[in-house]
Amino acid sequence: MCPGENPKHFTEFVISSIISSSSPRFGLREQGEYQEVSHLYSVSQLEEAGIKFKVSPNNCILDLELSEDGVLSMPILNISSSTQLYFRNMMAYEHCHDSATKIITQYVAILDFLINTEKDVNILVDKKIIVNWLGDTDKVVTMISNLNSTVTMPEFCSHYFSVCNGLNKFYENPRNKYKAMLIHDYLNTPWKIASTVAAIVLLLLTLIQTVCSIISLVQK
């Protein structure tokens, strides 16, 4: 299914409309263009490593963009009681037609990689990327997980592969990775921050006391 073709089914028309409004060219599958993505870090992990999340000015939900300085732009995603059915119908159509690009399935797979916990949802809600009409954050996590649980992991088009690969490389940069580990292990709650600061202060006081003792002994 290509945006330029006349749709023969309403679901095909919906998918075609979404694709035609996207900035990246999500057209027909080309040999060698699609690649596998076996892993992508979650929103909270990426944020701890320094990735910034912001609302994309584009209206098409497919338009995920990663800048060179580590900013992931995502269009607004409204999640309501009908969202699961909406995506499930499009994904079912894609998997029943070999000519379909399966771009909706790829998009949902990326969401499933990014959203694993309520914390991931809350970050995207705070950034105004997700509008949660369900009210319950856990329901969003469950919905995304359910959508992706019944389909085979797709291969990704060059644009999505580039975005996923870029995010993974950013996180796995040693400086960013250790920063994420530091935040996750020592600075992710007020209590951990307080205890970490107290430990640093205690260490500094001990160091100062040791230096003063050495100076005192040298002067004698």
Query: Do the Cβ atoms of 130 and 79 come closer than 8 Å?
Result: yes
Query: Do the Cβ atoms of 53 and 47 come closer than 8 Å?
Result: yes
pLDDT in tens, 24-83: 767 555 545 788 999 999 999 999 889 999 999 998 999 999 999 999 999 999 999 999
Two tokens, residue 139: 């329901």
Neighbouring-strand partners of residue 74: 55
Q: Which amino acid is at 164?
A: C
Return the pLDDT at 195.
63
Below-50 pLDDT ranges, the chain: 1-4, 31
Which strand (E) or helix (H) includes residue 77? strand 77-79
Return the pLDDT at 2.
46
Rounded to whole angstroms, how far apart are CA atoms 118 and 93?
29
